[in-house]
Chain A
Amino acid sequence: MSRRARLAVASFYVLLLGAWEVYGRLAYEPGKLLPPPTTILRTLWEMRDAYLRDAWVTVQEAGLGLLVGVVLGLGIALLVDRFARMGEGIYRLALVLYSVPLIALAPALVSALGIGLRSKVAIAALAAFFPVVVNVTTALRSVDRRVLELGRLLSVGRWRTLRFMRMPYALPALFAALKIAGPAAVIAAMIAEWVGAERGLGLALLYAMFGFQLPNLWAILLLSTLMTGFAFAVFEVLGRVATPWHASAQRGER
């Protein structure tokens, strides 16, 4: 983006926020949809201890869920790669599992695994594993045939061909998947908390909703958006650092 374009975008947002602030101040009464931004920020500040504690719980759930999901997703991708025939079946099953709406699956999992950490991790993992399966499977399939021929010439076994020559090719695709899976895990953890939890940002959301506390709802919305945005940004940066050779990491160069 040119500097002028960036300036235009920034001023658009400032104007929007300004208009919102003015509208909120003029028309706001408790229980209405749009509290002014300054009220939302003040609420966030006043509630910071409670909300940060809640957010930390959610982050832990999402983080663990993401970890489990990625391990699961990689495992499935490798199985699909190794056993073509059986892999097709596993891939379909994963697709079916992923197609079940989380909000429908969550009550069952919470009932079965309890309202503690385990159900949250399971649900976050279910949201996170599929992008990894799809991206990594596709990337492994599309490795240059000549690279495989190089492996054959060097008389490298299947495992080491995978490790030294094919997996690195799939790394950018894995990071692309993580940019989707990370935010998805946060959202899934909140949905799981919504269904039943002792702590967490999803639960705080539920309380604020039933208390008709709109500034609190907006404050939590803001905080959770920051969390998903952060989850995206982390993998964007990590991806660039880990695969500096990849075209998408070389923006602006050459």
Chain B
Amino acid sequence: MAGTDAIRADAVSKTFTIGKESFQALGEVSLEIPERTFATFIGPSGCGKSTLLRILADVIAPTSGEVSVFGRSAAQAREERDFGFVFQDPVLLPWRSALANVELPMQLNGIDKAERRARALELLDLVGLQGFEKALPAKLSGGMARRVAIARALTLGPRVLFLDEPFNGLDEIRRQNMNAELQRIWLETRTTTVLVTHNVSEAVFLSDRVFVMGRNPGRIMAQLEIDLPRPRTIETMTSPEFVEYDRELTALLRTAYEDAEP
């Protein structure tokens, strides 16, 4: 097996069964994500992006097919704390301060108090939340809560970071700022990252590799490598290369939508 792939999915499918109804959310999906890559799934809503992401992270099991992460099964990788995961909503524990939320994974792994505190402070710093350590989630804005969730996902030094539409619902400027922040964090840590989004320019801005997904059943319809120098900036976004990638990805996505119409 090649040593450079962080994640391989081999003919993964998922069928949900509710009562007597069954619904195929994912067809047979195969993909490879090399180590230290920033990969993105983009596609119409309901095409199975979240489902695929959750299967890769072993939050749910596939109906058929196999996932391997650094040569082991996804379940093994999860149990060995390989994954950081940011849900579509931040899912913070409301009784814990921002700091204590970031500490949670370390606390559950028996890391002693002084060490986990220091690490959590460092991570809150990294996501630009110094000064908000003591704030309860109810007092944080949506963007800040998401940054806490990102910090929490980074605590155990994951080998793979999963992000499910982490900036959904933020206005455009905040989203761009968060993207720049995310890129900075990624450049610092170089953690293999898998992002779900339905925003084209976000995908181009952040990714090395973009998977375009289609519906009925969910599948990968195209794959695009983004070869732009980093760090990418607001200026990059107006460069001819960026605009060309944006156009190309939009065209691919349009096909995915058209294909999905009955």
A residues contacting B by CB (< 8 A) are 144, 146-147, 149-150, 152-156, 160, 164-165, 168, 171, 243-246, 250
Task: Show 11 residue pairs from A and B whose CB-CB distance is below 8 angstroms, ordered by the A residue.
Answer: A144-B91, A149-B54, A152-B78, A153-B85, A154-B104, A155-B79, A155-B81, A168-B95, A244-B136, A245-B95, A246-B95
B residues contacting A by CB (< 8 A) are 54, 57, 59, 78-79, 81, 83, 85, 87, 89, 91, 93-95, 104-105, 107-109, 136-138
Instruction: Say whether, besides A165-B93, A243-B95, A245-B138, A149 and B104 are in contact (CB < 8 Å).
Output: no
Residues on the B chain within 8 Å of A165, using CB = 93
**Among A149, A150, A154, A250, contact of B138 (Cβ-Cβ < 8 Å):** A250
**Once bound together, how far apart are the Cα atoms of A150 and B57, in whole Å?**
11
Instruction: Say whether, besides A155-B81, A160-B108, A168 and B89 are in contact (CB < 8 Å).
Output: no
Additional 13 contacts, C-beta under 8 A, given A146-B87, A164-B107: A146-B91, A147-B91, A149-B87, A152-B78, A154-B105, A156-B108, A164-B104, A165-B93, A168-B93, A171-B95, A245-B137, A246-B94, A250-B138
**Once bound together, how far apart are the Cα atoms of A146 and B138, in whole Å?**
18
Residue contact A154 to B87, C-beta cutoff 8 Å: no
**Among B57, B89, B137, contact of A153 (Cβ-Cβ < 8 Å):** B57
| Distance from A149 Cβ to chain B, minimum over Cβ atoms (Å) | 5
Residues on the A chain within 8 Å of B94, using CB = 245-246
For residue B89, which residue of chain A has the nearest CB?
Answer: A146
Residues on the A chain within 8 Å of B95, using CB = 168, 171, 243, 245-246
Residues on the A chain within 8 Å of B78, using CB = 152-153, 155
For residue A250, which residue of chain B has the nearest CB?
Answer: B138
- 6 residue pairs, one from A and one from B, having the closest CB atoms: A245-B95, A245-B94, A146-B91, A153-B85, A155-B79, A168-B95
**Once bound together, how far apart are the Cα atoms of A147 and B95, in whole Å?**
13
| Distance from A203 Cβ to chain B, minimum over Cβ atoms (Å) | 44
Residues on the B chain within 8 Å of A149, using CB = 54, 59, 87
Residues on the B chain within 8 Å of A245, using CB = 94-95, 136-138
**Among A144, A152, A243, A244, contact of B59 (Cβ-Cβ < 8 Å):** A152
Residue contact A154 to B91, C-beta cutoff 8 Å: no
Residues on the B chain within 8 Å of A144, using CB = 91
Residues on the B chain within 8 Å of A153, using CB = 57, 59, 78, 83, 85
Residues on the A chain within 8 Å of B57, using CB = 153
Interface centre among A150, A160, A164, A165, by most B CB within 10 Å? A150
Residues on the A chain within 8 Å of B85, using CB = 150, 153
**Among B91, B107, B137, contact of A150 (Cβ-Cβ < 8 Å):** B91
Interface centre among A146, A152, A154, A155, by most B CB within 10 Å? A154
**Once bound together, how far apart are the Cα atoms of A246 and B79, in whole Å?**
32
For residue A161, which residue of chain B has the nearest CB?
Answer: B108
**Once bound together, how far apart are the Cα atoms of A75 and B105, in whole Å?**
28
Residues on the B chain within 8 Å of A154, using CB = 81, 104-105, 108-109
Residues on the A chain within 8 Å of B105, using CB = 154
Residues on the A chain within 8 Å of B137, using CB = 245
| Distance from B213 Cβ to chain A, minimum over Cβ atoms (Å) | 21
For residue A157, which residue of chain B has the nearest CB?
Answer: B108
**Once bound together, how far apart are the Cα atoms of A171 and B96, in whole Å?**
14
Residues on the A chain within 8 Å of B83, using CB = 153
| Distance from B168 Cβ to chain A, minimum over Cβ atoms (Å) | 14
**Once bound together, how far apart are the Cα atoms of A164 and B100, in whole Å?**
12
Residues on the A chain within 8 Å of B136, using CB = 244-245
| Distance from B193 Cβ to chain A, minimum over Cβ atoms (Å) | 15
Residues on the B chain within 8 Å of A150, using CB = 85, 87, 91
| Distance from B17 Cβ to chain A, minimum over Cβ atoms (Å) | 17
For residue B97, which residue of chain A has the nearest CB?
Answer: A245
**Once bound together, how far apart are the Cα atoms of A171 and B57, in whole Å?**
31
Residues on the B chain within 8 Å of A147, using CB = 91, 93
Interface centre among B54, B89, B138, by most A CB within 10 Å? B138
Residues on the A chain within 8 Å of B87, using CB = 146, 149-150
Residues on the B chain within 8 Å of A160, using CB = 108
